[in-house]
Amino acid sequence: MLICWQHSVIPGLAQTPEYALAIVHGNQEAADVRIKRQSILTRNDERGPAIVVFLIDEQVLYRQVGTAETMRKQLEHLIEFSMMPNITVQVVLGSGEHDGNMGAFVVATMEDRSEVAYAETAIRSITTDDPADLSVMARTLVDLRSRALTQEQSRELIRKVAQERWT
């Protein structure tokens, strides 16, 4: 299971090819690698598809990446993704006063219930299984989820932004 917090862009596992290409400044190879990672969401092996919770800051819906059409398609794609039984999408309302502002991260829970976290910084990415780090991220996730809309409310907001802002 993956819990992804993103405060600046749509998470890579939920990006459309056009959005991904804009994020990586036209580097087709990098965009293709990013999109290929999404296969964990639909895999049919013994592990089954990954269970993913996407927590997305409200401002991500308004921050233009690529063209208006790219944004509209991306938000429509996010709605479609949220209909999959293994995916939850929740929008965190944009008050801006929470520990999630410290940066985006992903917490992965393995089959043995161990956890590892991944965070990207301007300098490098960090992977950690340090209990102190995981504790901070767990507290941050509890706070973010308490600020998040339900999945259905999130779909409604995403749909509204796609129609009103990006068409």
Tens-digit pLDDT profile for residues 84-106: 999 999 999 977 777 788 889 99
**pLDDT confidence band for 121 (50 / 70 / 90):** confident
Is residue 137 within 8 A of residue 145, CB to CB? The reply is no
* Verdict on whether the full-model pTM lies above 0.85: yes
- Give the pLDDT confidence score for residue 100 in this predicted structure: 84
Element (H, E) at 5: strand 2-6
Q: For 14-24, write each residue's pLDDT tens digit.
A: 999 999 999 99
DSSP 82: H
Tokens of 7: 């405060």
- Give the pLDDT confidence score for residue 94 in this predicted structure: 74
Is residue 143 within 8 A of residue 99, CB to CB? The reply is yes
To which residue do tokens 């809309």 refer? 149
The phi-psi region of residue 18 (left if phi > 0; otherwise alpha if psi is between -120 and 50; otherwise beta) is: alpha
Buried b (16+ CB within 10 A) or exposed e, 81-115: bbeeeebbbbbbeeeeebebeebbbbbbeeeeeeb
Please name the residue ranges forming H helices in 4-127.
17-23, 28-36, 68-82
**pLDDT confidence band for 63 (50 / 70 / 90):** very high
